Amino acid sequence: MLVNGDAVEVDVPGMRRLLDVLREDLGLSGTKEGCGEGECGACSVLLDGELVDACLVPICQVDGHVVRTVEGLAGRAVDGQPDLSQLDVVQSAFLETGGAQCGICTPGMLMAAHAFLASGADPTDEAIREAIAGNLCRCTGYTKIVDAIVLAAHSASQPPVE
Amino acid sequence: MTIRTPTPRGPVRSAPARSAPDALVVPPGEITTGHARGAPLRREGPAKLTGVAKYADDLVFPGAWYGGTVRSTEAHARLDAIELDPGFDWSGVVVVSAADIPGDNVVSLISDDQPVLVPVGGEIRHHAEPVALLAAPDRGMLREARQRLTLRTTPLPAVFDPLQSGEVFAHFDIRRGDVEAALAGAELVVEGIYRVGHQEQLYIENQAMIAVPRDDGGVAVHGSLQCPYYIHKALKRALLLDDRRARVVQTETGGGFGGKEEYPSMIALHAALLALKCKRPVRMIYERHEDIAATTKRHPAIVTYRSGVDREGHLIAQDIEVVMDGGAYTTLTPVVLSRGTLHAGGPYACENVRIRSRAVATNTPPNGAFRGFGAPQVEFAAEMQVNRIAEVLKVSPLELRRRWVYQRGDVTPTGQVLRESVAGEEVLLRATEAAEYERVRERTAGARARRGADGSGREGGDRTASGIGLALGWHGAGFTGSGEVHLASIASVELTADGRIAVLTASTEMGQGTKTIFPQLAAAELGVPVEDVDIAPQDTGIVPDSGPTVASRTAMVVGGLVIKACRRLREEVEARTGRPFAEAYRDDARDHGPTRVDQQFEPYPGVQFDDATYSGDAYPAFGWAACVAEVDVDLDTGEVAVRNVVAADDVGRVIHPVLAEGQVEGGTLQAIGYATIEEIKLEDGRYLNDRLATYLIPTALDAPRITSILVEAPFSGAPHGAKGVGELPMDVGAPAVVDAIHDATGVWIHDLPASPERILAALGATGPTSSSSAGRSRSDKDVEGAVDAAMDAPIEVGTDPLPTERTDAQPFRAPTDR
Ligand code: FES
Ligand code: FES
């Protein structure tokens, strides 16, 4: 499978959860576990561009597919880790509006935001809330997360300014 | 006024085009100016946004085993034996029971009643109580071992109803004036009984702790927690360790809200006992189910209220009784009850007040800290009373509050003179203006009148009813009474040898912004760039005890200590160098080496409280909050959608506008959840809905658009004037929503949450206007007998004074003078 652009191979039981493969076998602990039963969205990743709960996906279903996690959003530093000074447009928007507080829902929220922005839907308040309805946040009240996604959508549609 | 940083950081660079072979990368755009509306960006934000931040479960300790807790399945029983199946190979696992505890078998907090593990021969006092511990090299073996361990018990009779409990954890009695006489002479007396249930903090990161044995025989724990020194103390006591050999390190913490105030001490002890026995790191990572089933909740409460109003419409008497359910052990219950007692009157001047409260034991899991800490329960009742009185008097709830709200110079039930920083009226006006409260209220009243009290005017499409509601609240800033004096917290600031500033406190970051505002405060005081200020890790081996991260005290109390420490550091360096600090500090560090200043808490001038008589200044200052909520109620299903909320909160001084608003918005949504959907159902002392699929919290679709207005009435005792923000919004959201439901439907819901079942029952009872009193008289009966038995001088309840009739003859004179 392809994880954040890198081809990876794992030798694990087919029913092992994608979440555990990412966190424990590949060391990608940015994807979180909040409930383990598809209720909280903390484990959201993109599977072939679709938003899925990694706690509900057995690894056998991922064979040969493309996975994207929070670690794959920012630019990478020389050591291959995410470069904190090269945030992508959605991460930057979250940072500026205050869309991340404790940060535990944030990786999943960012992936949901990416799925939404990639869909090309109009970034209305209602559409954004619909898009992140499967991702629980207990800290923010969602207002600043919605603001961040609006800002990201707006910025993404502008030509880059140097 | 915002404390601005001298030099905001440069713009965050957007991601360059990536070579990653997918089409999902949003084209980069220049979107940020590098700061959050004039304040620095969240310090640890980039780490959280890239997945680099390490929460407890993300930490890898080679060779670590998995720890698990064996819990009781009964609410009250004697533990006769712990039996290990001889058919199982126990050599590969480690089992810990109470007998393995070297020191006192107590989770050290207020009382010594809660054991780390129930000993054989001892008493199981609640469902899901820890009895034994297991550790194994993998999860599969841990699961297997747990099935091979059996608890032998003898059941004992259990108490679940707090009104039937004879075991009192704490009680308070506050009196001012002559309540009975005032009620006897009142023109109007309104009574109510309000019940609120458990609420789960539901941080999205479950409780998690990893213990690592040390070479010196001690133990280090790394975990998700609010209060490093609470755990430190608990470890020392039960494991017989000295200061150095017990070490507590906070990992990134995915939300706390009070839920990680005291319970982490228990988990740390469990992980440490296992780690010491198996001589390797042990991971105790709770799953959601275990977290909800076993950890603390907001205290359920029954609040009985009688308010008296004179013929001029003045509030002349409040007679309040509060009963809280503490669960099986004391934990923080006396302090929660104390705060609940002190806030029960609401933010209103009243000459005759009697507040009697008690917290009792039941055979249910212990309740503990949760944002608001006893105040949301009682302020719900207080605000319900005000809104109901406004209805009876036929005056606007806004007008009534304007007349009653505390002004400077007014005196609280404990005799505290509110000398400064009194902003109840201001938050009230700011919130109601922004929400266009009176205009919307006129409109909703019109729609209600058209539908008719019995709904007979409903037209075909008239499925939903809209309403607007209002609540006002206050929240004592920092610890209650002499709490801060007893804590004697220390915060330190160091000019390091390499010319940087380090802030050393045990105050934890759990999303609220500690790591961002402390550098801001230090940088502003010293005149240095905020980037030159570092935050030392929350590690008891490094930082002093600045007290727990609770009670909205971090910005006000610890932030104040940081500023004072910086002030002394500046004076010292300036005296030594003869130059302004900002110019001299790098040279001074090079020439003179490091300089450290430890600042201990000093009592706020003129603030005095007498613990024995419970009189005086209960808090150095109060924060003030108003909330206006608009709802749509589905008249057929009883479902409530909260549409818009305006929250105005007085926080003394805004340090960081984005973070402060974030606190208001998050707290408001928790209050809306409390008001509408969050409910724990119990059966025989066990939580029935102990999963995320069954304990619901608001999603983005359930959440209203929240407009937050920050008001600044500074407190002179804090060098920066800040009073704290975390808990304020939690106190007012629920009564505002329930008032809005009433505005929409005409029915009062006395119990939280205002669930569809409760709303439909109220709507269907005998027509909207009388249904609430039908519900009330049933409650009255329940309370009457038990309260009479338990209290020395019980409140007389049971007779609803039918206030409407009495006051119609005495029309309320609308106040014009204030
Ligand atoms: S952990 Fe997967 S949805 Fe909660
Ligand atoms: S930021 Fe804490 S759960 Fe969303």
CA–CA gap between residue B705 and residue B641 (Å, rounded): 12
User: Which CATH fold topology does A2-76 show?
Assistant: Ubiquitin-like (UB roll) (3.10.20)
Q: Which residues of B touch A158 (CB under 8 A)?
A: 29-30
CB-closest option in A68, A92, A162 to B32: A92
d(CA A4, CA A47): 11
CB atoms within 10 A of CB B346: 31
Is the CB of residue B49 less than 8 Å away from at least one CB of chain A? yes
Q: Is any ligand 2 atom within 6 A of the Cβ of residue A100?
A: yes
Residue B93: CB atoms within 10 Å: 22
Give the pair of three-digit tokens for residue B499.
């010319």
Question: Phi, psi (5° rounding) for residue B782?
Answer: -55, -45
Q: Point out the ligand 2 atom lying closest to the alpha carbon of residue A139.
A: 2
User: Closest-CA residue in chain A for B509?
Assistant: A102
Q: At what angle do helices B424-435 and B437-451 cross, to 10 degrees?
A: 60
Residue B420 tokens read as: 């400064």
- Helix then strand then coil, in percent of chain B rounded to 5, is 30, 25, 45
Please determine, looking at this structure, whether the domain spanning B56-158+208-294 carries the CATH number 3.90.1170.50: yes
DSSP three-state, residue B437: helix
Kindly list the domain boundaries of chain B, sorted by start residue.
Answer: 56-158+208-294, 301-479+613-792, 489-600
Instruction: Look up the CATH number of domain B301-479+613-792.
Output: 3.30.365.10
A63 touching B (Cβ < 8 Å): no
DSSP B100: G
Mutate which of A17, A23, A39 for ligand 1? The one with the most ligand atoms within 8 Å of its CB, which is A39
Give me the residues of B, 654-713, that contact A with CB < 8 A: 658-659, 661-662, 665-670, 691-693, 697, 699-701, 703, 705-706
Q: CB A2 to CB B21 under 8 A?
A: yes
Q: How far is the CA of B527 from the centre of ligand 2 (A)?
A: 33
User: A42 CB less than 6 Å from ligand 2?
Assistant: no
Distance from the Cα of A39 to chain B's closest Cα (Å) equals: 6
Looking at the complex, report in whole angstroms how far the Cα of residue B818 sits from the nearest Cα belonging to chain A: 35
- Kindly give the parts of chain B with pLDDT less than 50: 1-30, 32-33, 766-818
Which sequence spans correspond to the domains of chain A? 2-76, 82-157
pLDDT in the model for residue B528: 97
What pLDDT is recorded for position A135?
Answer: 98
Please answer yes or no on whether B51 and A152 come within 8 Å at the CB atom: no
Query: What's the pLDDT score for residue B6?
Result: 32
Exposed, middle or buried by CB within 10 Å (0-12, 13-18, 19+), for B279? exposed
Q: Give how far A12 is from chain B: nearest CA, Å.
A: 15
Helix (H) or strand (E) holding B610: strand B609-610
Nearest to A86 among B15, B33, B255 (CB): B15
The response to whether residue A36 sits with its C-beta less than 6 Å from ligand 1 reads yes
State which ligand 1 atom lies nearest to the alpha carbon of A56.
2
Instruction: Please work out whether the CB of residue A88 comes within 6 Å of at least one atom of ligand 1.
Output: no
* B373 Cα: distance to centroid of ligand 1 (angstroms): 29
Which one of B19, B50, B57, B730 makes the best mutation probe of the A interface by having the most chain A beta carbons within 10 Å?
Answer: B50
- Return the residue of B nearest to A25 by Cα: B60
Residue nearest to atom 4 of ligand 2 (CA): A137
Whether ligand 1 lies within 6 angstroms of the CB of A134 is answered as no
CA distance A69 to chain B (A): 9
If phi > 0 it is left, if psi is from -120 to 50 it is alpha, else beta; for residue B814 that is beta
- Cα separation, B622 vs B472, in Å, equals 13
> Are domains B56-158+208-294 and B489-600 of this chain identical in fold?
no
Contacts of A114 in chain B (CB under 8 A): 24, 26
Please name the residue of chain B whose CA is at the shortest distance from the CA of residue A83.
B50
Q: Which of B13, B20, B45 sits opposite A72 (nearest CB)?
A: B20
Q: B495 to each of B498, B555, B574, how far by Cα in Å? A: 8, 22, 13
pLDDT digits (tens, 9 = 90+) for B717-753: 999 999 999 999 999 999 999 999 999 999 999 999 9
Give tens-digit pLDDT for A100-157: 999 999 999 999 999 999 999 999 999 999 999 999 999 999 999 999 999 999 987 7
What is the rounded average pLDDT of the residues A72-91?
A: 94
Instruction: Name the residue of B49, B204, B669 whose CB sits within 8 Å of the most ligand 2 atoms, as the mutation to test its pocket.
Output: B204
Q: Which fold has domain A82-157?
A: DNA polymerase; domain 1 (1.10.150)
Domain B489-600 falls in which CATH fold? Aldehyde Oxidoreductase; domain 4 (3.30.365)
- Chain A residues closer than 8 Å to B668 by CB: 141
**pLDDT tier for residue A158 given thresholds of 50, 70 and 90:** low
Of B255, B257, B668, the CB nearest to A141: B668
Q: In angstroms, what is the span from residue A100 Cα to ligand 2's centroid?
A: 6
Q: Which residue of A has its CA nearest to B657?
A: A98
Looking at residue B460, its pLDDT comes to 65
Show residues of chain B in contact with A139, CB under 8 Å: 255, 511, 662, 666
Ligand 1 pocket: which of A21, A52, A55, A136 to mutate (most atoms within 8 A of CB): A55
Assess whether the C-beta atom of A139 lies below 6 angstroms from ligand 2: yes
Structure confidence at residue B461 (pLDDT): 67
Q: Is A105 in the pocket of ligand 2 (CB under 6 A)?
A: yes
Q: Residue B784: its pLDDT value, please?
A: 34
- Residue B529 backbone dihedrals phi, psi, to 5 degrees: -65, 140
Nearest ligand, measured from the Cα of B666: 2
The SS3 call for residue B322 is strand
pLDDT of the residue at B770: 36
B203 in contact with chain A, both atoms CB, cutoff 8 A = yes
Rounded to 10 degrees, the C-alpha dihedral A138/A143/A147/A149 comes to: 40
Q: Confidence band (pLDDT; 50, 70, 90) for A6?
A: very high
Q: Which residue has a Cα nearest atom 3 of ligand 1?
A: A38
How many angstroms separate the CA of residue A106 from the nearest CA in chain B?
6
Tell me the C-alpha distance between A112 and A118, whole Å.
10
Q: What are phi and psi of B85, to 5 degrees?
A: -60, 115
B35, B46, B256: residue with CB nearest A87: B46
Specify the pLDDT at position B452: 81
A41 within ligand 1 shell (Cβ under 6 A): yes
Closest in A66, A141, A161 to B669, CB measured: A141
CA of B255 to the centre of ligand 2 (A): 7
Q: What angle do CA B523, B524, B530 make, to 5 degrees?
A: 30
Q: Six-digit token pair at B707?
A: 């407009």
A44/B contact by beta carbon, under 8 A: no
Beta strands in B224-377 (DSSP E): 246-250, 282-285, 301-309, 315-327, 352-361
B148 and chain A in contact, CB less than 8 A: no
